[in-house]
Amino acid sequence: MGSRKLRIVVMLACLAALALLPFVAEKFYVQLFTKMLIMGIFAMSLDLLIGYAGLVSFGHAAYFGVAGYVLALISPQYAAASLWTTLPVAMGVSALLALVIGALVLRTSGIYFIMVTLAFSQMLFYLFHDTKIAGGTDGIYVYVRPAADILGWKPFDLENVAHLYLVVLALFAGVFVLLRTMLGSLFGRVIEGIRINEHRMRSLGYPTFRYKLACFVISGALAGLAGYLAAIQFGFVNPDMLGWHVSGLVMMMVILGGMGTLIGPAVGAMAMMLLELALQSLPEFGGVNFGKHWQLFMGSFIVLVALLLPYGLIGLLRARGQAGGGNGHG
């Protein structure tokens, strides 16, 4: 019990430190951490599928990118759309897309499930890439960020970098609490039971397909939230947001941080982006620009983590904590 209280205290301290960031850091770092938190939400949404439901989806970028396109398409070109209207619509479209895709792909399993989720994501990629629905390969701009006005009162301004960061931080914390609460409920226990032994859960009378579909839809909606926030931050969406490499990137974040932990994928997202920034800053040595080839070093690092840390960075921290605390149970 003491260990659990300590984890809560550490998490609250980290949240307080993050909340203070925009008051002490430069604009570049505020924007960087905003992107980290958005990718953290995205990674947590995928971990709900991979780490808890045992569903390895390689097409998760579909829900991420579609939500960004929804915002861009329903926003006036040179005026602010309503945050309270566009956010539910974007997440709703992502959830609906996940419902349709999930109803089809969940009838498969294993490698077939992975390939079919990838196929649907690539279909959407080429739909936006090869047609003029939303600018084709050039993408489409979100010139004005959504407004948060409520009957003439503006609680925050998303055009303000600090305000946007704090809103994203609040949503990140909200998603974490939502998923933690959901996974601690009967629904979460059934989902984990399905991952371990679906046949036994079915024999106990649980409609496993419905549970998996519900999990798939929730995951898609949360990925849509991340895509919506990404479109707000960068003011631009293009077909690359739906591409397989984005699905692969977020999957690497989940693996790096540690699957089945929620906070692990968020830590993985932050660690991976900080490492990317550090590798891109490597100097030139012996006529070789190491910073230009940062992806080679990043790939090597991910391979090493997968080989040496099967439970990710969070698993390493837990192992060190157990080594320091002995065999006692808190």
Contact 64, 129 (CB under 8 A): no
Distance between CA atoms of residues 289 and 280, nearest Å:
10
Is the model's pLDDT at 24 over the cut of 50? yes
> Which pLDDT score is estimated for 188?
93
Is the model's pLDDT at 328 over the cut of 50? no
What is the residue-wise DSSP string for 233-274?
Answer: HHSEE-GGGGSHHHHHHHHHHHHHH-TTSSHHHHHHHHHHHH
Distance between CA atoms of residues 237 and 267, nearest Å:
25
Distance between CA atoms of residues 225 and 45, nearest Å:
10
Q: Reduce the DSSP state of residue 75 to 3 states and report it.
A: coil
Query: Residue 153 phi/psi, 5° resolution?
Result: -100, 130
Is the model's pLDDT at 33 over the cut of 90? yes
Selection from 25-29, 72-76, 155-159, 217-221 with the highest mean pLDDT: 217-221
pLDDT in tens, 48-106: 999 999 999 999 999 999 999 999 999 888 888 899 999 999 999 999 999 999 999 99
Q: Please state the rounded mean pLDDT for residues 154-183.
A: 94
Is the model's pLDDT at 326 over the cut of 70? no
Q: Please state the rounded mean pLDDT for residues 153-170.
A: 93
Which spans in 81-109 are helix H? 83-105
Distance between CA atoms of residues 118 and 58, nearest Å:
5
| Percentage, residues of the chain above pLDDT 70 | 95
> Which pLDDT score is estimated for 129?
87
Q: How many helices (H) and strands (E) does the chain have?
A: 12, 4
